[in-house]
Amino acid sequence: LHFVFSIRFLNVVENLYPYVCRLMISTYLAMKTFLESAKAKLNKQYKAMKPEAITTTVGLNIGKAVFDGVELNFWDLGGQKELQSLWDKYFAEAHGVIYIIDSSDQSRIEESLDAFEKALKNKTLNGVPVVIVCNKQDIKECMSVSDVKMALREIIKKLGTRDCSLFPVSALHGNNVLASISWLVKAIKKNSDYRPPS
């Protein structure tokens, strides 16, 4: 499913950055394109994979980037149903959630929302900020942001007092990739009293 899990603050042994964030990602192609776009935007020397070369994650991929003095460690976990049982192993250390919706694939939205809601019911994610990314907004037939909000309305009611924001994104073109990451990093820093660095 189009899901990014969990940013974690760590103490940095080398003291190079005030925070290190570990970003666990559970994904099909929508997230992988987002991750590639983010790495390219955050590191000008990084050469992103061409979209046609991106394949579904099976197992784990790892990526790193620095944003606003924060080192982000991306853990790209497979989103296939049989791999979802591993997700909760990372929740206790999560400091943020990026939930990616492939807005061009309406046939899978219900499955994606079910996995998202199930993850948010885990008590270890209480109070953790969430950014919802409506990816593939560059595709003509995609769901509009208002359609996505309607699909999410019941889940959003259950988010409680945590910070939450929604961004229309085209990872392919890089639109709003940095804005969504920036919002989440700020929300995580603001939330550090509730969930301090480990």
84 appears as a binding residue in the annotation: no
pLDDT in tens, 137-192: 999 999 999 999 999 999 988 888 889 999 999 988 889 988 998 998 898 888 87
Model confidence band, residue 1 (pLDDT cutoffs 50, 70, 90): very low
pLDDT tens for 21-36 read 555 544 444 556 776 7
Whole-structure pTM value: 0.77
pLDDT digits 0-9 by tens, 45-76? 767 666 666 566 655 666 677 778 777 766 66
Tokens representing residue 113 in the block: 């929302």
- 118 in a labelled binding site: no
More confident residue, 109 or 41: 109
Give the Cα separation of 35 and 25 in Å (integer). Answer: 9
* Residue 135 annotated in ligand binding: yes
CB 145 within 8 A of CB 111: no
Mind listing the domains of the chain with CATH numbers? 3-193 (3.40.50.300)
